[in-house]
Amino acid sequence: MVVVDADDVRRIALSLPHTVEIDSDGFDFRVGNRGFVWSYPEYIPGQRRVIRTDIAVLYVGDEAEKQALLLSEPEVFFTTSTYDWSPLVMVRLERIDITRLRELVTDAWHMRAPAELKVDHPPDCGEAATSDTW
């Protein structure tokens, strides 16, 4: 399996219409001013926060989806107490394949995009771009 990294997240996110990358130490992508995927800001007590570009924070829509991902693939997905009660999961990029990442980032974009933008990019548009070669 090819190792996925921050550049892959960037390519996928920026391939989606109306996506804006916010200036950050890692990556931070928004649509309609709503975040859908960004670098994990790791907080270690007594130390400065560290932006982890090897881990993505991903919007998943609701608690049921979050729990399903956490329980089905704990080697890929995790959470921390900071994200309790938030529809967000952390994704270990080195443990996920590009096709699955593309699906999850595209789904996150659809859940966060304002309704008028979704017309420009129907849910199945991402399916045509399934090449792993970018």
| CATH number for region 6-124 | 3.90.1150.30
Which residues, 6+ apart, have CB-to-CB distance to 62 below 8 Å?
87
Domain positions in the chain: 6-124
Please give the average per-residue pLDDT across 16-38, as a whole number: 95
- Secondary structure letter of residue 82 according to DSSP: G
CA dihedral of 6, 9, 15, 19, whole degrees rounded to 10: -90
Dump pLDDT digits (tens) for 47-103.
999 999 999 999 999 999 999 999 999 999 999 998 888 999 999 999 999 999 999
Which residues, 6+ apart, have CB-to-CB distance to 69 below 8 Å?
60, 76, 77, 89
Residue 129 binned pLDDT confidence (cut-offs 50, 70, 90) = very low
Helix (H, G, I), strand (E, B), or coil: what is residue 20? strand
Beta bridge partners of 81: none
51, 40 Cβ separation under 8 angstroms: yes
